[in-house]
Amino acid sequence: MSENEIKFLSTEEALKIVAAIQEEEDIHNKDKRVLTVYNYEDKEVCWFDFAEVLEAVKAEGGETGKSAVQDYILRHIPDWAKDI
C-alpha cells in the first residue's frame, strides 16, 4: 500500500463516529452540493461531492436513494476520521 492510498473504516467503525450526513451547498461553488459528515460532537469529519457519490452509487449498480447514498458514505469514511 502506498503512503497516499486512503484506508477506510469498516462500516461498524464508521457508525461509531458518524452522527449525521447533511446535504449542503458548496461554499466555494453555489451550483454544487456536498454531503458533509458530522460526528457525535457535531464536528465536521469529512465531506463528499454529491454528484460524485451519486455516480459512484450508480456505477455499483445501486439505486441512488438516501439509504444507498448513506451506505456508500459509511463504507468510505477515511481511517483518519478516528482522530477528529
- The packing angle between helices 50-59 and 66-74, to 10°, is 90
User: What value does the mean pLDDT take over residues 13-29?
Assistant: 93
- pLDDT at position 2 is 59
Q: Is residue 1 a part of any domain in this protein?
A: no
Query: Which pLDDT belongs to residue 75?
Result: 97
Q: Quick check: pTM over 0.85?
A: yes
* pLDDT (0 to 100) of residue 1: 55
Domain-embedded: residue 60: yes
DSSP 8-state symbol, 83: G
Range of the domain at 46: 11-83
How many domains would you assign to the chain? 1
Residues in the chain: 84
Residue 35 located in a structural domain: yes
Q: How confident is the model at residue 78 (pLDDT cuts 50, 70, 90)?
A: very high
pLDDT computed for residue 52 by the predictor: 95
Residue 74 lies in a domain: yes
The answer to whether residue 4 is domain-embedded is: no
Residue 22 lies in a domain: yes
- pLDDT in the model for residue 44: 96
Is 25 inside a domain boundary?
yes
Residue 3 within any structural domain of the chain: no
